[in-house]
């Protein structure tokens, strides 16, 4: 599967990226230091996390300016979506599934409570 679109919300310095497209061959992120480029990549990594990479931690990863919402129970960690990815099947995947699922866009998301 290939990531075609993503959105990061409520993760470290990022409040909401909005949905953004991921190009087929190359996507370039440009911005000044401390703008959140690495944070975006770390959040995207959680969609298919390697075993040796830690998951989300609300204390460390939820935006500091909003953390009081969790401690005061205005927000439940189970309801906080951090990363959402939309995926399209590549040619090898398409051959392996029934025809009615071949043109679907698949959505995967991870919440702050993993």
Q: What is the DSSP string of 30-53?
A: ---TTSSHHHHHHHHHGGG--TTS
pLDDT tens-digit series, residues 66-82: 999 999 999 999 999 99
Domain spans of the chain? 2-111
pLDDT of residue 25: 87
In a 10 Å sphere around its CB, with 0-12 CB exposed, 13-18 middle and 19+ buried, how is residue 60 labelled? Answer: exposed
pLDDT tens-digit series, residues 56-68: 999 999 999 999 9
Average pLDDT, rounded, for the chain: 94
Mean pLDDT of 81-92: 96
Q: Tell me how many helices (H) and strands (E) the chain has.
A: 4, 5
**Residue 1 and residue 97: Cα distance in Å, rounded?**
12
pLDDT of residue 27: 86
**pTM for the whole thing?**
0.90
Structure tokens at 105: 């866009």
């Amino acid at each position: 599967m290939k990531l075609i679109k993503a959105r990061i919300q409520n993760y470290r310095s990022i409040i909401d990226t909005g949905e953004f497209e991921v190009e087929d061959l190359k996507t370039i992120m440009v911005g000044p230091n401390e703008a959140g480029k690495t944070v975006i990549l770390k959040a995207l990594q959680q969609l298919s996390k390697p075993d040796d990479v830690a998951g989300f931690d609300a204390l460390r990863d939820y935006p500091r300016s909003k953390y009081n919402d969790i401690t005061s129970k205005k927000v439940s960690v189970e309801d906080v979506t951090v990363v959402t990815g939309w995926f399209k099947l590549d040619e090898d995947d398409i051959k392996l599934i029934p025809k009615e699922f071949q043109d679907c866009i698949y959505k995967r998301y991870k919440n702050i409570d993993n």
